[in-house]
Structure 1
Amino acid sequence: MVFQPKPLTQATISLYHCSDYIGALVTGQLPAVKMRRIGFPWSEALIERTFTSAGGTWLTTQLAIEQGIAIHLSGGYHHAHYDFGSGFCLINDLVLSAKQALTLEKIDRVLIVDSDVHHGDGTATMCSDDERIITLSFHCDKNFPARKPNSDIDIGFARETQDNEFLEHFYSVVETAINLYQPDVIIYDAGVDIHQDDELGYFNISTQGLYQRDRFILALAQQRNIPIACVVGGGYRTVHQDLVPMHMQLLSASADLFLL
């Protein structure tokens, strides 16, 4: 089934982000230096898209809790902090959805698994004082952001990391985290900027490696009966359509597991 998300309201977003920051963002009053840190020029369309994408991540989380799995064809804005945006991220949809999920009945612990090539610095800082949200980041050590605040679990890799090394650690650490923390829902950032052809990634992961990564975590969630909400995360190619085969690995893995 396909769903159309609605934008989150300013009031809802301001429950989890600084209300002054969100107010300035909505009205276009954010100082130019702060917009440059985000990396986009301000526009009403940018705000609408951002709020709608965040609404999609929240809808995806709700659907996953109801159905077992859901995938959002956007999301993963993990560089957004409580009171500022950074790295093309204005608001942190992963954190917003995790915190909103914790208001639901029988959801007491959320595991955020971030497999984007860039460290989820905003996610780490926004969840640092909430023991109910476990943050796990797989990333390239020598890549943006320069400052990498501690997640609950950080797995950093060298540039040019290949399939075998990456997948060995991904399999082991994800399973250990699930065993240790027993989450009630998983929010999974399936970034494809770990791919060997990505222009900002610096990893050497094959397309098959993407599929194996995604299939593993989806299968594990399915076996443990843990809802998993997926977002597509980062991917950087000059020709945007070149990203489609990479993002399709998540959809293919989910179809192979949940539609057969």
Structure 2
Amino acid sequence: MVKIAWHHLFAHPLPEGHRFPMIKYELIPGQLLYEGVISASNLFAPELVSEAVILLSHDPGYWEQLRDLTLPAREQRRIGFPLNAQLLEREMRIAQGTIDGAIYAKANGIAFNVAGGTHHAGSNWGEGFCLLNDQAIAANYLLNAGLASRILIIDLDVHQGNGTAEIFYNEDRVFTFSMHGDKNFPFRKERSDLDIALEDGLTDERFLMKLEETLPLLLAHQPDFVFYLSGVDVLESDKLGKLALSKEGCKARDRKVLQFCKDHNLPVQVSMGGGYSPNIKDIVDAHCNTFKIGLDIFE
């Protein structure tokens, strides 16, 4: 059975001005349940990730400032909202949900996190609404537990996965691939194993062509597990994106990635990443399409 990490804290932890895009974390499972795509048995509520597992990816000093809620105001501004206990709990549950999803994926081929994709968190910093890097934490968990030996991270959010790139810069067992807007946040990029920077206004055809050309090249790493960050801020309607993909183009993107994983017997954990279109329906529809395609390919 395909498993999907979801917790009520995913939807309502943020200050008032930041809540609109977070509503999607409640609406996505609601829509999938309403359409009969999933049942309640597909959903699970993750616990808190342990400190020991966090420290496989994040520096002790940074983690202690998060844990004790003593992160300097300047660093909180870099994250984008004030640090509080509920926000930290949210991120700890998201990270554990991605770990649990990775374990479920090894058994079932694919698993999802309704949230996650917190790829701007580096080893010793938070940034861009990210405190703890869920896919990096899960990747290091798999490696440390002997559950994977060579991992591929495919990051197709419109923003570069700078935190992920930094965490794994000296880790040969993890190959980081980020295809993102060149002139978009973060303006100081890190170096992934493979970065493809895209010009503003890029549409479906050229995006999909670049992706199709690149995916076979990633097999050279010989991965035995994949993490996929499927941000829908690539949509033309996205207010933070600068690319111009249609919903159909976004669906085709997900199908190419997930079919690639299926064809090569690679279990895949999917985190949702960004989505900031003014119309919440556009965000929810695009994210729900990711789930539907994954279930269609793997079930």
The TM-score, its normalising length taken from structure 2, stands at 0.83
How far apart in 2 are the matches of 1:55 and 1:257? 25
Alignment partner for residue 218 of structure 1, among 251, 258, 263? 258
Q: CA RMSD in A?
A: 1.3
Render the CA deviation track for 1:144-176: whole Å, top value 9, x for unaligned: 011112110011110000000000011111221
Alignment partner for residue 97 of structure 2, among 44, 56, 61? 56
| Matching residue of 2:270 | 230
Amino acid at match of 1:143: N
Counterparts of residues 165-184 of structure 1 (less than 5 Å) = 165-178=206-219, 180-184=220-224
| Matching residue of 2:286 | 246
1:103 CA displacement: 2.4
Moved more, 15-24 or 244-253: 15-24
How far apart in 1 are the matches of 2:192 and 2:62? 24
The TM-score, its normalising length taken from structure 1, stands at 0.96
Alignment check: 8 A CA contact 1:106 1:184 kept: no
Alignment check: 8 A CA contact 1:107 1:184 kept: yes
Any idea what SS the aligned residue of 2:44 has? coil
Counterparts of residues 19-98 of structure 1 (less than 5 Å) = 19-98=60-139
How far apart in 2 are the matches of 1:69 and 1:224? 13
| Matching residue of 2:163 | 122
Q: Percent identity?
A: 38
Unpaired segments of 5 or more residues in structure 2? 1-41
Any idea what SS the aligned residue of 1:83 has? coil
1:239 CA displacement: 4.9
1:5 CA displacement: 1.2
Any idea what SS the aligned residue of 1:102 has? helix
How far apart in 1 are the matches of 2:55 and 2:149? 22
Alignment partner for residue 227 of structure 2, among 187, 197, 207? 187
Amino acid at match of 1:232: M
How far apart in 2 are the matches of 1:105 and 1:45? 32
Amino acid at match of 1:122: G
How far apart in 2 are the matches of 1:169 and 1:163? 10
Alignment check: 8 A CA contact 2:56 2:141 kept: no
Amino acid at match of 1:156: A
Amino acid at match of 2:250: L
Pick closer, same or farther for the CA change 1:241–1:41 going to 2, 3 Å: farther
| Matching residue of 2:241 | 201
Alignment check: 8 A CA contact 2:238 2:278 kept: no
How far apart in 1 are the matches of 2:272 and 2:199? 23
Alignment check: 8 A CA contact 1:210 1:246 kept: yes
Unpaired segments of 5 or more residues in structure 1? none
